[in-house]
């Protein structure tokens, strides 16, 4: 049943929307479990790179293994999400996570017993069954708040801020564990957090969206009008993230301060996290489809700042400040994009729709990393900052396609808001 936020809490104060959000029964428990399960998402790739590079002596091999896992995830994740939509989160997420944990443990055993190189690829590809924990959490909020679009906007903003926080802390924690303890420590810690978090999350059955089962009629989100342009926006936005990360590492290396690259990138994530929380306290007006191009335009404009900082000053400190400011437009962009995905995904396919958006991000990150790395190596690290600007401009072109008006009867032909709100309230 949809829930309304309690009205007995204070109605003023900067964080009142969030206090009211977590006053709903069960929301704190499933959020805690989800955060525990989501933190390892920022740990696994860094842990794998450090572990493989330190024990096999090859960054090329480490990068190839993690890239294989990324491709496998792009193929398997939508299928896992489809099963979750059909059979329920608890019934599918726990065994899917267990399979992914076994894949990671297999990788550790292959490393420990010096197994052939091909086994590393196979083991890491087996981790692709890891469910999209952020998507499952957003699906719960959409179910609980489907009659309260303003509160759902706040919940989506919180989820994006949580994403930024986990991907800010995850790599730092992984690098610390792998270098301070032993190379496998980051992966082992991530596995414990992942399995524990999923068990805590799925134990909260009262907030779980109902599963329609096998008898329900399903329609692929990719065949729904308005979803492909959003996936394209995610693809281009992912390219912004991927290129920005690689180019910043390369730029810090040219300054002889590669160890500071993680902190510099963390500032970009911190700016995005803070902006996401502030965005959640603001009640935006008008349809989300009209807001998205403005959000992406702001992101494109602010992505010019790191390019100017690197070109005009060559200072890593100035670049860090530019990245902090540039990050403030990424969270509103992702929040609005995910809100549109929620609105346009067919009923009963929300996890799959969310996962397709994340898959687009992952594909964009891979492509952006390759483009940024090529520019940094063949031109210069400074010139590499043109890659995120270009990717953001492409995202703006795609976002304009999402803002094109649809016929009023579109909702009656199947393009209805999946969260149960009326078409007139779909703006949020």
List pLDDT tens digits, range 90-104.
Answer: 889 899 999 999 999
Q: How many other CB atoms are there within 10 angstroms of residue 116's CB atom?
A: 9
Interval 374-381 mean pLDDT:
82
Ranges 122-131, 141-150, 252-261: which has the least confidence: 252-261
pLDDT digits over 70-81, tens only? Answer: 788 878 888 888
List Cβ neighbours of 57 (8 Å cut-off, separation of 6 or more).
none
CB 50 within 8 A of CB 175: yes
CATH code linked to domain 219-421: 1.20.1250.20
> Is the CA virtual torsion 154, 160, 165, 170 positive or negative?
positive
Question: How far is Cα 134 from Cα 350, in angstroms, rounded to an integer?
Answer: 12
- What tens digit of pLDDT does each residue of 3-57 get? 555 544 445 555 677 788 888 888 888 889 989 998 888 788 778 877 887 787 7
Q: Where are the domains of the chain?
A: 23-211, 219-421
At residue 200, the pLDDT reads 92
Which residues are CB-contacts of 58 (< 8 A; sequence separation ≥ 6)? 52
Whether residue 380 has pLDDT greater than 70: yes
Question: For the domain 23-211, what is the CATH superfamily, name and number?
Answer: MFS general substrate transporter like domains (1.20.1250.20)
The string of pLDDT tens digits covering residues 183-223 is: 888 899 999 999 999 999 998 888 888 776 654 455 666 66
Q: What is the pLDDT of residue 297?
A: 92
pTM of the model: 0.73
Pick 253 or 102 by higher pLDDT: 102
- pLDDT of 109: 92
Same fold, 23-211 and 219-421: yes
């Amino acid at each position: 049943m949809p829930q309304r936020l309690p009205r007995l809490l204070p109605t003023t104060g900067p964080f009142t929307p969030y206090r009211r959000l977590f006053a709903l029964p069960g929301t704190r428990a499933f959020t805690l479990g989800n955060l525990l399960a989501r933190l390892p998402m920022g740990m696994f790739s860094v842990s794998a790179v450090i572990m493989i590079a330190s024990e096999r002596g090859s960054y090329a091999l480490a990068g190839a293994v993690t890239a294989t896992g990324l491709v496998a995830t792009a193929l398997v994740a939508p299928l896992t999400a489809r099963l979750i939509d059909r059979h329920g989160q608890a019934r599918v997420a726990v065994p899917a996570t267990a399979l992914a944990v076994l894949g990671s443990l297999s990788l550790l055993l292959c490393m420990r017993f010096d197994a052939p190189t091909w086994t590393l690829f196979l083991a890491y590809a087996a981790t692709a069954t890891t469910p999209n924990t952020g998507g499952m959490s957003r699906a719960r909020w959409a179910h609980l708040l489907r009659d309260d679009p303003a509160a759902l906007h706040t919940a989506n903003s919180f989820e994006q801020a949580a994403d930024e926080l986990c991907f800010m802390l995850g790599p730092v924690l992984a690098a610390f564990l792998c270098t301070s303890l032993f190379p496998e420590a980051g992966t082992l810690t991530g596995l414990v957090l992942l399995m524990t978090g999923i068990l805590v999350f799925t134990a909260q059955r009262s907030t779980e969206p109902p599963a329609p089962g096998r008898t329900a009629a399903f329609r692929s989100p990719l065949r729904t009008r308005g979803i492909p342009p959003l996936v394209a926006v995610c693809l281009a936005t992912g390219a912004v993230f991927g290129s920005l990360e690689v180019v910043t590492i390369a730029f810090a290396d040219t300054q002889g301060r590669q160890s500071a690259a993680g902190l510099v990138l963390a500032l970009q994530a911190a700016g995005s996290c803070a902006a996401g929380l502030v965005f959640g306290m603001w009640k935006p007006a008008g349809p989300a489809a009209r807001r998205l191009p403005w959000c992406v335009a702001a992101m494109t404009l602010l992505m010019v700042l790191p390019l100017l900082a690197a070109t005009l000053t060559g200072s890593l400190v100035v670049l860090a400040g530019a990245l902090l400011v540039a990050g403030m437009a990424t969270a509103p962009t992702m929040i609005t994009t995910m809100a549109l995905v929620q609105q346009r995904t067919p009923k009963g396919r929300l996890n799959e729709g969310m996962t397709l958006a994340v898959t687009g991000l992952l594909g964009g990150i891979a492509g952006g990393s390759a483009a940024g790395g090529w520019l940094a190596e063949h031109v210069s690290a400074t010139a590499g900052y043109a890659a995120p600007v270009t990717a953001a401009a492409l995202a703006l072109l795609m976002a304009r396609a999402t803002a094109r008006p649809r016929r009023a009867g579109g909702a009656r032909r199947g393009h209805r808001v999946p969260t149960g709100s009326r078409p007139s309230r779909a703006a949020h």
